[in-house]
Amino acid sequence: MTKISQESFLFLTLTCFLLGTGLFFVGFFPVAYETVEIISKNDDLSYERPVSLNGIRLVQPAKKYPQTILMVVDALRWNFLNKTNMPFTYENACMHFSIEVDIPTVTMPRLKSLTTGTLSTFIDIILNLGETEQLDDSLIHQLVKNGANISFVGDRTWTNLFPNKFYRQQANVDSFYVNDFYEGDKNVTQYLMKELTLYDWNMLILHYLGLDHIGHVEGSTSSRIFQKLNEMDKVVQKIYNGQNFHNQLVLITADHGMRNGGGHGGSTTEERFVPLSVFKKNCTAKNLINNVKYKQIDIVPTLAVLLSIDIPKHSVGCLILEMLQDLTYEDQLYALYYNTKQLLQLTKRRYGQQDTEYLSWFLKAKSAHFDFLSKLRNKKEQSSFDFEQAKLNYVRSSRTISTLLSESRVRFHYDFIAIGLTLTTMTTGYILIFALFTESNYELENFPKYKRLMLSLCVAIFIYLICYYKAIIKTSHILNAGFITLSMSIAIYFGINIVKMIFKIILPMHKSMQMALSIPIPLLACFIFHTCSLASSSFIEEEHQTWYYLGATALILLFMNKFRKATIESNIGQEYFLFKNIHKTIWKMRSDIKMLIVVTLMRKLNQTGDRWKDLIDLGDILNEHDNKAALTLFFIIGLVMLLMQLKNVNGPLEIVPCFFATMCIYCFRGASGTVNLVQSEDHNKYVILMLFWISIVILAIIPYAKIIFGKKTYGYARKPNLIKILNANFSCFLLVSALLHKPHNVILVPALVFVLQVTYSLCDNLHNQRFWRDNQLHVLAYKTVLTIFVAKMFYFYQGNSNSLATIDLNPGYIGQTSYNPIIVGTFVTLNTYCAYIVAFLYLILHTFSIQAKQMPRREEKEQVTNSALVIVNEKQLQYVISLYTISTIMPVAAYLGLMMIFRYHLFIYSVFAPKFFYEVYNVFVFYFIFALTNLYFKLFK
């Protein structure tokens, strides 16, 4: 048998929990939708252009335009294109359409919809970061198949999606480098001017990124937004005045919109509606603003008809009728028939042959279409009635089918989902049972039991073979089979242990196993309420309000408890002087009152959610150009408060690099022009950042230098050594967080530490001997759970939400001159989850500080049993870590079940799925921080 520490046990179980969430993720978010996978090589259905209708030969429409220009302005939302921002485009376009884009509103999936006519999966958000996917059919493929030459310049996402498809190309080197507002767009325009003088291309694709980058960095109200819109308007004017414009069809559109805060990725109206402006030489009516709402996928079949190529076989879009007005009646009906027939065949392949309403409409349209063609071929008078009847029924049928295919697009892999849910549930239950017992080490002494592991593996193999034989599990790849079997065996092992421990509780011979509630009942009730609230999409969108209420209520109750006790103690035997002594009590509790004021003020910094989006928050006011002096003062206050907190956890030697790093943070923001500085030069930013990182390195190595070159210590002295290292690491992270935060948010970093300090002092006044034999564990339980409460509040104070659009990408590019996905991802993660990381590190640091205070004086050490004290201290630390772990993963495990219950909910991909990503990624961040902390425990135990 092998004995394993509780820290290692928690690390292994957390690994299994993440494995389960990974399986659930694969099953719930498949890489491809059903409509994308429905066509096989041996399909007996034809998806090519029709050549006859009931025996009458059909004539395919000829190519209408020799050259086509597709200009994509990244993040150009619908209301940006108006007479003020883009006057030339607004007044000279033949027609304007409001185009609805699908979620997720990020670049790569939107480009897929724009070129293939299919709806993207939510997993495309992750693929968008790597840009590794390649498509097998699209407008680009069809054009190349027909011998067309395509030129491209702009976002390199296009070249990753369509390698070796462009006749000429010039992709941006760093499309993800958001600090590039002008250089990349300037290169696109220069390339455009060269291409306008050439005649050897059939399609020219332009993708401008500057507008999107400005939105990410400075927000949607930045003055540079309107400058960029004016620049794009001038580009359109250059195309319009080109020497070959009379042979061109020009489309101006966007991949997605921009939310009011400047980002995108969510499902707000500003993100989901973009313009489509059409330019051509002969317009029937200029500046026609069409009120019919079309989808982004509708552009694909429309362009395919106008360019006389096949509609991509995966397309589920309908035709934009207004763009076909220049075609003859015969050509319009051909296009409608082709589009509707293609959609109908997709439906047959998906649902089989069914007698449905849309099928009857299609048959009526074919009949009217046949009558129209018969009269036309026999040179009889054409009937407009036949044309309108055919057109009406084709449109009704195609739009109904398109909606049906769009709504039934997802296919869940229930085998992965079931195994993932089972594994996460068993893992959570296993950790929970250990957290409920004070004598949890009883079972850990015999972990793992190899006979039980082998039994679990054999049972898992047997279950897998049965499921595969019954076609419940369809994967046949040996790696997938091994992965699934291993996951099932782990889940079975946990299940066996859970059942065994439950029997130990029930059987009389094991009454010595004493239950100890790991979470105080009031706080447990709050967790249950919060978990149940996640069953509502509105509560998810406004989750910050839930935590504002629960966190503030808990802090106020703690304050009232301390105030009551302090008032009673100061007035024993002096009831007459009760009111006279209240002011003394208030003065003694001034830090607690400051804490409540700080919590109230920090809530006003950033407004998040959708219910009160029109409210102006303090951050918006401070970031206005006219309030630069106020922002500078607020920034200085935040840095001073941070320095004061650093002074509390560091010695005189460590405070020097802390002070220097703080000054570098201010100088960096000053050199960037965000705050006022005596001398502000942009090129000095990188020198300042280099000095900042040097200060961080010096601060980090000081405690190690003291340990290496100082007096050798043993036994108890190793605890203070670990505290010194933890203090240094904690200080480094606070300084890095201050660098990554927006200037008005820097004050949140020291405010979080201050609130946690006061919260812990309030918890020290709690006593509940009725339910808790060990009052120290009772206090630690409150501290641990309230740490999560406070971390949740400050997470939302920072401006975060459950919408992917609120992810701030700008911190990832601080000090970067190019796009590095590892550095950008790390910085964005540290900035987004700063509150959680700071809260956990401070809780561990506080727990070790308590242990250090419990150590006997030097002259008493010889009289105290060394091992007894270490066991007590380790018991408290293990209790805190176990409780924090279970409090972190239990809501996530419950949410996975809710995701499965609401898998067909209308807002599953716009509300529930983003919340899933945030929660699972939070567990991953905790897993990483816990692993590093556990490593320190091993080194300095």
What CA–CA distance (Å, rounded) separates 723 from 936?
A: 10
Q: Is 727 domain-assigned?
A: yes
Helix (H/G/I), strand (E/B), else coil: 139? helix
For the beta carbon of residue 920, count every other beta carbon within 10 angstroms: 19
Question: Please, which pLDDT band fits residue 444 given cuts at 50, 70 and 90?
Answer: very low
Q: Count of H helices and E strands in the chain?
A: 35, 10
Between 206 and 671, the higher pLDDT residue: 206
What CA–CA distance (Å, rounded) separates 25 from 21?
A: 6
Mean pLDDT, the chain, as a whole number?
80
Q: What is the pLDDT of residue 929?
A: 92
What CA–CA distance (Å, rounded) separates 184 from 186?
A: 5
The domain in which residue 745 lies consists of 534-799+834-856+870-885+926-940
* Cα 48 to the center of its chain, rounded Å: 39
What CA–CA distance (Å, rounded) separates 170 from 697?
A: 41
DSSP-assigned states of every residue in 602-637: HTTS---SSTTTTSPPHHHHHTSGGGHHHHHHHHHH
Question: Please, which pLDDT band fits residue 692 given cuts at 50, 70 and 90?
Answer: very high
DSSP-assigned states of every residue in 809-870: -GGGGTT-SS--HHHHHHHHHHHHTHHHHHHHHHHHHHHHHHHHHHSPPGGGGGGS-HHHHH
φ/ψ of residue 418, rounded to 5: -65, -45
Q: What is the pLDDT of residue 597?
A: 92
Residue whose structure tokens are 């934009």: 320
Into how many domains does the chain fold? 2
Measured on CA atoms in the order 913, 915, 919, 924, is the torsion positive or negative?
positive
What CA–CA distance (Å, rounded) separates 28 from 356?
A: 30
Q: What is the pLDDT of residue 268?
A: 81
Q: Mean pLDDT throughout 595-599?
A: 92
Between 905 and 404, the higher pLDDT residue: 404
Q: Is 85 domain-assigned?
A: yes
How confident is the model over 750-788, as pLDDT tens digits? 999 999 999 998 888 776 444 444 567 778 888 999 999
Lowest mean pLDDT among 78-92, 355-369, 422-436, 514-528: 514-528
According to DSSP, the β-strands at 150-154 and 168-171 are parallel
What CA–CA distance (Å, rounded) separates 617 from 627?
A: 14
By percentage, how much of the chain surpasses pLDDT 70?
79
How confident is the model over 41-95, as pLDDT tens digits? 444 445 678 888 888 888 888 888 899 999 999 989 988 998 899 999 998 898 8
What CA–CA distance (Å, rounded) separates 835 from 737?
A: 9
By percentage, how much of the chain surpasses pLDDT 90?
26
* Domain end residue (candidates: 326, 359, 377): 326
Q: Mean pLDDT throughout 636-644?
A: 93
Q: Is 165 domain-assigned?
A: yes
Q: What is the pLDDT of residue 68?
A: 92
Predicted structure pTM score: 0.79
How confident is the model over 370-382, as pLDDT tens digits? 888 888 877 766 6
How confident is the model over 831-866, as pLDDT tens digits? 999 999 999 999 988 887 765 555 544 444 444 334
What CA–CA distance (Å, rounded) separates 847 from 780?
A: 8
- Asked whether 387 and 372 are in contact (CB, 8 A), the reply is yes
Q: CA geometry: angle at 551 spanning 549 and 557, to 5°?
A: 95
Q: Mean pLDDT throughout 583-592?
A: 80
* Domain end residue (candidates: 326, 347, 372): 326
- Residue 202 tokens, joined: 């059939």
How confident is the model over 302-343, as pLDDT tens digits? 999 999 999 998 888 999 988 888 888 889 999 999 999 999
How confident is the model over 114-134, as pLDDT tens digits? 998 888 766 666 655 544 456
Question: Please, which pLDDT band fits residue 716 given cuts at 50, 70 and 90?
Answer: very low
Helix (H/G/I), strand (E/B), else coil: 446? coil
pLDDT exceeds 50 at position 532? yes
Distances (CA, A) of 435 to 875, 879, 884, 897, 913: 12, 7, 10, 22, 30
Between 303 and 815, the higher pLDDT residue: 303
Distances (CA, A) of 491 to 16, 441, 453, 901, 923: 9, 21, 11, 21, 19
Q: Mean pLDDT throughout 171-191?
A: 80
What CA–CA distance (Å, rounded) separates 406 from 121?
A: 11
- Asked whether 276 and 76 are in contact (CB, 8 A), the reply is no
* Domain end residue (candidates: 283, 311, 326): 326
What CA–CA distance (Å, rounded) separates 829 from 837?
A: 10
Lowest mean pLDDT among 334-343, 619-628, 891-900: 619-628
Closest CA to 422 of 479, 460, 470: 460
How confident is the model over 339-362, as pLDDT tens digits? 999 998 888 877 766 668 888 888
pLDDT exceeds 90 at position 180? no
Measured on CA atoms in the order 415, 420, 426, 429, is the torsion positive or negative?
negative
Q: Is 295 domain-assigned?
A: yes
Contacts (Cβ under 8 Å, ≥6 apart) of 870:
none
Question: Please, which pLDDT band fits residue 442 given cuts at 50, 70 and 90?
Answer: very low
What CA–CA distance (Å, rounded) separates 826 from 830?
A: 6
Residue whose structure tokens are 């043993």: 714
Q: Mean pLDDT throughout 725-740?
A: 92
Q: What is the pLDDT of residue 513?
A: 46
Q: What is the pLDDT of residue 814?
A: 87
pLDDT exceeds 90 at position 572? no
Between 796 and 23, the higher pLDDT residue: 796
pLDDT exceeds 50 at position 868? no
Between 212 and 677, the higher pLDDT residue: 212
How confident is the model over 482-508, as pLDDT tens digits? 767 777 777 777 777 777 776 666 655
Closest CA to 695 of 743, 736, 666, 648: 736
* Dihedral-angle region of residue 354 (phi above 0 means left; psi in -120 to 50 means alpha; beta otherwise): beta
Distances (CA, A) of 616 to 262, 603, 675: 15, 12, 21
53 bridge partner residues: 56
What CA–CA distance (Å, rounded) separates 287 from 299?
A: 19
Question: Please, which pLDDT band fits residue 37 given cuts at 50, 70 and 90?
Answer: very low
Q: Please name the helix (run of DSSP H) or strand (run of DSSP E) that holds residue 787, with its range, or none.
A: helix 775-797
Give the CATH number of the domain where residue 320 resides. 3.40.720.10
pLDDT exceeds 60 at position 717? no
Q: Is 86 domain-assigned?
A: yes
pLDDT exceeds 70 at position 106? yes
pLDDT exceeds 80 at position 475? no
Q: Is 487 domain-assigned?
A: no
Q: Mean pLDDT throughout 526-530?
A: 85
Question: Please, which pLDDT band fits residue 452 given cuts at 50, 70 and 90?
Answer: low
Helix (H/G/I), strand (E/B), else coil: 72? strand
* Dihedral-angle region of residue 165 (phi above 0 means left; psi in -120 to 50 means alpha; beta otherwise): alpha
How confident is the model over 131-170, as pLDDT tens digits? 445 677 889 999 999 999 999 998 888 888 888 889 888 8
Q: Is 814 domain-assigned?
A: no
pLDDT exceeds 90 at position 907? no
What CA–CA distance (Å, rounded) separates 391 from 336?
A: 7
pLDDT exceeds 90 at position 664? yes
Q: Is 363 domain-assigned?
A: no
Q: What is the pLDDT of residue 860?
A: 43
Between 685 and 453, the higher pLDDT residue: 685
Residue whose structure tokens are 């009725």: 770
Q: CA geometry: angle at 503 spanning 524 and 459, to 5°?
A: 100
